[in-house]
Structure 1
Amino acid sequence: MKKALNNIFSRNRPIGDFRQKINDREYFDKDDRDFDVITHKSPIVNLGVVLAILFFVVLLSRLFFLQVEEGIENNRIAEGNRTRNILTPAPRGMIVDEKDRALVKNDYSYQLVCHINKKRDLDKVDDSLFALIDIPREEVWKQISNSDYTGNVVLKEKIEKDEALILKKSLILFQDFEITPMFIRTYPYRNLSHLLGYIGKISPKEVEDRPSLIVNKMTGKSGIEEAYDEYLQGEPGSQKSEVDASGKLIRYLSEQDAKVGATVKTSINLDLQNFVSEKLSQVASEMKTNAVAVVMDTRNGAIKAMVSIPDYDNSKMSGGISNEEYQELLSDKSNPLLNRAIAGEYPSGSTIKPFIASTALFEKVVDDKIAFDTPAKIELGQWSFPDWKDHGMTDIRTAIAESNNIFFYALGGGWGPIKNGLGPERIKNGLEKFGFGKILGIDLIGERSGFLPTKEWKKEATGEEWYIGNTYNLSIGQGDLNVTPLQITAATASIANGGTLYRPHLISEIKKEDELISSFSDSDFVISKEVMPRDTIRIVQEGMRQTVTSGSARSPFANNFPVSVAAKTGTAQFGNEDKTHAWFISYAPYENPEIAVTVLVEGAGEGSRVSAPIASDIIRWWSEHRG
């Protein structure tokens, strides 16, 4: 038995065949000793076998990773290589007036776009393509190489619909060239050009700051278009398609429509804007001069109308004006691109007097009981300071109503019973409270601050001292004082409403897909709740009312005028040719003010004769159409 078993477990027996069952029992050789009986199976642990198994496990795991995990990634890459995602431009958002009437239009058109950015890829394109699009291969490469946006270069714009449809069908064989929609911004109302502004092609700097613009390609360059460009920009759409290795279309996979930009609702009343423009243009044309008018809501600073003459064709600016035409605009002496309402700086003339009066009352230089005789002129040494007539006994209300220069000389620099006038420093401080000499912050780019002269400025600028004559001139809105029509309208509104200075604004609300994005309350636009005490404001209001009932502006508002008005005339000297700007500021109704109206006609003479009748027509129209 032992010998037989030794033969079974001999050293010459092949590996792996070392077990044998005898009588249903399993035995194994153990160092040539007697056999032990095993009652269950128990494999021998062999180190080489274990290492071999571990090696195969690791190898299989690695193969799994390569075949499965990397296969997924490789499949994703392969998918990307045979799909193309093309972005399409979006329509720009609308700008509407207070009654939701459109002030702009988006005219639908088409453009030819090239997605090639390497010359070797262009060289592979068949010659038939260039014959089809009627642009030589060399010209296409020139446009690509000169573009800041390679891979998305517009080769042709404003393609007519019929031609676009033919090209689109033919370009199926040339997937790097395609017809996409484009939107041409037009402006039906030229008198809104300074408010709406225009759009133009994006610059490299704009793309750097906002990469998304590369698809829509246009951005606001001035006016509301610029101020609210972030909201007006639409969201580009996309078209995903499957192409073969040569770039030819296999099938469309998905498409996402472009989303129109937000709607910006303004405070402008289109009918009022058109009426103001018509009246102002008529006078400016007859007198061959420039003019500006502003209508503001006294209760919140909202602009209801703003006209600056001359205006310009902003549709042409947005559509692509030639360099020659643009240079012609820039060299035009009438400066049509200037929004005179916010950036025109003028001597105020007597329209500054209500604000000088407010400051003098506040500083207790005068009160409403003081009255004194005011001759036709006063003399200080060799200097003479005239008025336009002898006003006789005058108090502060009458001085405002009759535009009494002598009275205001006294308020500013002292004279007669007023020994100590305000002086230049207190005049400056008072006018600053009303917003003069500052940027008010209207939601348009390009607002100017005007200028309030000081002793220090004069010394530095001219090397001369400040004289009493400088103070007298400042007190009646002459000399080096400059204001903008917007500033004086906002200041007039603050008198009208009892002392609150509002930030002028055009925005009312912003909506996108009927969802309100931004809305505003009157309190959002408050600059100062009380520029002057109400008792002080009340006295000035009464003086401005007298201007219409018995003062320098009574004629345009006579004959049962439909609404009560308070106002101030102004005739401002400028230059060395003895010319004057015709100013008129006003508000209505006097008892419960709603609008402030400012009219300025450049170099036109007296405000009472030229600008007051225009303001009268504007207020009459407003009173008949308000609702």
Structure 2
Amino acid sequence: MSRRQCSRARWARRYSHWSQRCCCVRCARDRAGCSSDDDVNLDRLSVLQVAAVIAFGLLGLRLTNTQLLDSAHYARLAASQQIRALPAEPPRGIITDRTGEVVARNRPEFAISVVPGELPRNPARRREVLLQLERHTGVRYDAIELAVTTGDRSVDPFAPITLRSGLDTTGAIAARAQLTDLSGVHVDASAVREYLGGELLAHILGYVGPLAPDQVTAFRRDGYPLDARVGQAGVERSYERTLRGGAGVTLVAADPAGRELARLSTTAPAPGADLVLSVDLRLQRAAQDALRDGIVKGLPTSGRDADGKPALAAGAAVVLDVRSGEVLAMVTAPSYDAGAFSGRVPDSPAVERLLADPARPLLHRAFTEVHAPGSIFKPIVGLAALQEGVATPETKITSTGAILVPNQYDPSIQYVFRDWAAHGKLDFNGGMARSSDVYFYYLAGGYRDEFEGLGADRLARYARAFGLGEPTGLDLPGEAAGLVPDREWKERVLKDGWVLGDTYTFGIGQGYLTATPMQMAVAVAALANGGEVLAPRVATATRRGGVIEPSPRLVRSQLPVTPAHLDEVRRAMLAAASTGGTALDGKPDAVTIGAKTGTAEFGTQLPDGSYDAHGWYTAFAPYDKPEVAVVVYLEHGVGATHAGPVARHILEAYFATPHVAPASTEVLR
């Protein structure tokens, strides 16, 4: 039998056996009384049962395969997905003067940056990207490579590194067209700070800049990114948290190369609050012009110092609201153009010149530099003498041009303490009006058995009551404290004992006593306002969404004196600004003021035996209902002759226009 025949025989036998089984089943069903429809239903049920068993079997097999065989594959796939947080810098608040004029704002610009973590891993491709960046940014290849290599090793390899900034819209479009296909390269828009007004408000506004190494830890702890730009000087620094606002963030899914796959969520940044300065730009300009003129006129009083160096053309002026402590104007010279710090990258050559300038134009001499205040300290001495019962308004002292004080160890040695003139017999008002040094030598240190003075301890106590010897609380960084000397200080620091001559020089605002123009402005404001020692401020309000929140008025202390004694000192300062007084040149024609001049010697003795002198002038006005205090300081000059006219021009500008309250209108960004 052939192979084909054998196969057919086997299939025939199997078919016969299967047919017989089916017949037996049908016969059994017939005997049981089953119908043909029941047979069909049973057959369908059997098929469904078999199908269900097969389906569940396949599902179990697939689950087993997924859990046991493909788990590593899915773990690798999950690991390849990264969630990245992309910070969005908030728009920084704008800054205006008290009238609403914008003095600092945000300007849009574009920058080319590279993200190290997004660069190709292939060395050849990576090199090509960096070469393209070199061609389009002007940054050398090796510098870019060093930057991105450092970035790869940092905590966040996806932090962008800016290679070129300051692109305008046209430049950004061109850069994007040429660089858009390069992995890790971005051309993004950002807002940079722009300062208006040149030198007028440079020191008050300050500037923003990148984090310094010693700032990174603190600012990172507060959620700042590594490439954040923060306030580094002026109100930009003092009000950093207010102006900055809240950063936004976008969560994105990215592949291992850092390429964005999908945006998951976005939280928009919250704009910073706007800052309203107490400064009036109109008055600030007038003060700046007057100060510069006074400096020029005062320089001839001092040619060169003992070392032959040229006299420094420098000075400062402060205008303070005696009722609120608001700084209405505060100027310094020399100054600098704030535009040097505008933009994302400062003008490096200009900044280097500022840092190298021996005149130190970055220093605001109104509150960061201290000097002997000279005779503008005499109202404080006079008030202390009245309050302590050392003198009365009728106390008369005769000035013959000098007093002689014997050495306490060798009476044959006589020390001469000179007056600037022989004034004759003077009462309290006359002593203040003529600024007699001898009169205040008596009040401060007494004279032999004829007159008992205040002494060093009481002088120091009243000086400190006016806020001298410590910062005023001005809302700007870098304020100097000055020095109020006393016996303990001299023994501890100079290792020397206090002598009567120290008390005499203390009493006329010289010797070891030092103060800033701002401290003296706070002091004269306290004399004018009834004894309140105020904390001055240059920011009068914040504005968020059109709603203004005024800054609180801060009273640091109350002078421990009676109103009657304050009145006597104010009357004496009125006499100083009247005919025959040393402060007359600072009085505006139509306004009555109280004032005091000062000329404080400093430095080493010149070849002719004289000394250079600072020129000071302080005033409050109007006399009957004081509104403002003015202090002028000239590095070189005479208080009455040079500083006085500066104050007069400032007061004339103030009274030319009514005092302006802070603006309440919404300012567009």
Bin for the TM-score computed over the shorter chain = 0.7 to 0.9
> Which residue of 141, 148, 171 corresponds with 1:144?
148
- Secondary structure of 2:276's counterpart equals strand
Closer, same or farther: CA 243–574 of 1 in aligned 2, 3 Å: closer
Question: Is residue 217 of structure 2 the alignment partner of residue 192 of structure 1?
Answer: no
* Offset, 1:255: 5.6
Closer, same or farther: CA 117–403 of 1 in aligned 2, 3 Å: same
> Which residue of 217, 230, 247 corresponds with 2:241?
230
Distance 1:592 1:408 in 2: 28
The corresponding residue for 2:394 is: 369
* Offset, 1:225: 0.8
Structure 1, 587-596 or 451-460: larger mean CA deviation: 451-460
- Secondary structure of 2:201's counterpart equals helix
Q: Which runs of 5+ in 1 are unaligned?
A: 1-55
The corresponding residue for 1:431 is: 463
Q: Which runs of 5+ in 2 are unaligned?
A: 1-55, 300-311, 407-413, 660-669
Conserved in 2, the CA contact under 8 Å of 1:172 and 1:249?
Answer: no
The corresponding residue for 1:598 is: 631
1:57-92 C-alpha deviation (Å, 9 max, x unpaired): xx99xx79x99xxx9xx89x9599277653333332
* Offset, 1:512: 2.5
Distance 2:327 2:238 in 1: 15
Distance 1:341 1:154 in 2: 37
The corresponding residue for 1:333 is: 358
- Secondary structure of 2:103's counterpart equals coil
Conserved in 2, the CA contact under 8 Å of 1:89 and 1:216?
Answer: no
The corresponding residue for 2:6 is: none
Conserved in 1, the CA contact under 8 Å of 2:274 and 2:544?
Answer: yes
- Secondary structure of 1:359's counterpart equals helix
* Offset, 1:475: 0.6
The corresponding residue for 2:434 is: 402
1:110-161 C-alpha deviation (Å, 9 max, x unpaired): 1122222387637475666445532676543311234566422222222232
Which amino acid in structure 2 is aligned with residue 292 of structure 1? A
Task: Return the TM-score normalized by structure 2.
Answer: 0.76
* Offset, 1:563: 1.5
* Offset, 1:332: 2.2
Q: What does 1:66-81 align with in structure 2 at a 5 Å threshold?
A: 81=81
> Which residue of 559, 563, 566 corresponds with 1:537?
566
More relative contact order in 1 or in 2 (CA 8 Å, sep 6+)? Answer: 2
Structure 1, 276-285 or 479-488: larger mean CA deviation: 276-285
Conserved in 2, the CA contact under 8 Å of 1:312 and 1:337?
Answer: yes
Distance 2:321 2:355 in 1: 33
* Offset, 1:429: 0.6
Conserved in 2, the CA contact under 8 Å of 1:294 and 1:307?
Answer: yes
The corresponding residue for 2:313 is: 289
* Offset, 1:105: 2.7
Question: Is residue 191 of structure 2 the alignment partner of residue 159 of structure 1?
Answer: no
- Secondary structure of 1:214's counterpart equals coil
Distance 1:171 1:250 in 2: 20
Conserved in 1, the CA contact under 8 Å of 2:583 and 2:595?
Answer: no
* Offset, 1:109: 0.6
Name the % identity.
Answer: 28
* Offset, 1:215: 6.6
> Which residue of 203, 218, 233 corresponds with 2:212?
203
* Offset, 1:587: 0.6
1:337-382 C-alpha deviation (Å, 9 max, x unpaired): 2111111111111110000011111111111232233322222231
- Secondary structure of 1:104's counterpart equals strand
- Alignment: residue pair count: 560
* Offset, 1:238: 4.5
Structure 1, 568-577 or 379-388: larger mean CA deviation: 379-388
Conserved in 1, the CA contact under 8 Å of 2:207 and 2:234?
Answer: yes
* Offset, 1:500: 0.6
Conserved in 2, the CA contact under 8 Å of 1:410 and 1:418?
Answer: no
The corresponding residue for 2:600 is: 572
Q: What does 1:206-605 align with in structure 2 at a 5 Å threshold?
A: 206-211=215-220, 212-214=223-225, 217-238=228-249, 257-285=268-296, 287=299, 289-319=313-343, 320-321=345-346, 326-381=351-406, 382-415=414-447, 419-516=451-548, 518-522=549-553, 525-553=554-582, 555-556=584-585, 561-576=589-604, 577=606, 578-604=611-637
Closer, same or farther: CA 391–92 of 1 in aligned 2, 3 Å: same
Which amino acid in structure 2 is aligned with residue 474 of structure 1? F
Distance 1:298 1:250 in 2: 61
* Offset, 1:301: 1.1
Conserved in 1, the CA contact under 8 Å of 2:332 and 2:366?
Answer: yes
Distance 2:255 2:469 in 1: 66
- Secondary structure of 1:184's counterpart equals strand
Conserved in 1, the CA contact under 8 Å of 2:276 and 2:539?
Answer: yes
CA RMSD of aligned residues (A): 3.3
Distance 1:79 1:276 in 2: 65
Distance 2:122 2:188 in 1: 20
Conserved in 2, the CA contact under 8 Å of 1:434 and 1:491?
Answer: yes
Conserved in 2, the CA contact under 8 Å of 1:267 and 1:507?
Answer: yes
Structure 1, 248-257 or 177-186: larger mean CA deviation: 248-257
Conserved in 2, the CA contact under 8 Å of 1:175 and 1:249?
Answer: no
Task: Return the TM-score normalized by structure 1.
Answer: 0.81
Distance 2:655 2:103 in 1: 24
1:468-527 C-alpha deviation (Å, 9 max, x unpaired): 1111111111211111111110000000111110011112122233345x53332xx101
Distance 2:346 2:186 in 1: 26
The corresponding residue for 2:652 is: 620
Distance 1:601 1:230 in 2: 35
Conserved in 2, the CA contact under 8 Å of 1:571 and 1:580?
Answer: yes
Distance 2:497 2:141 in 1: 71
Distance 2:523 2:286 in 1: 24
Which amino acid in structure 2 is aligned with residue 337 of structure 1? L
Conserved in 2, the CA contact under 8 Å of 1:365 and 1:418?
Answer: no
Distance 1:254 1:175 in 2: 23
Which amino acid in structure 1 is aligned with residue 340 of structure 2? K
Question: Is residue 91 of structure 2 the alignment partner of residue 87 of structure 1?
Answer: no
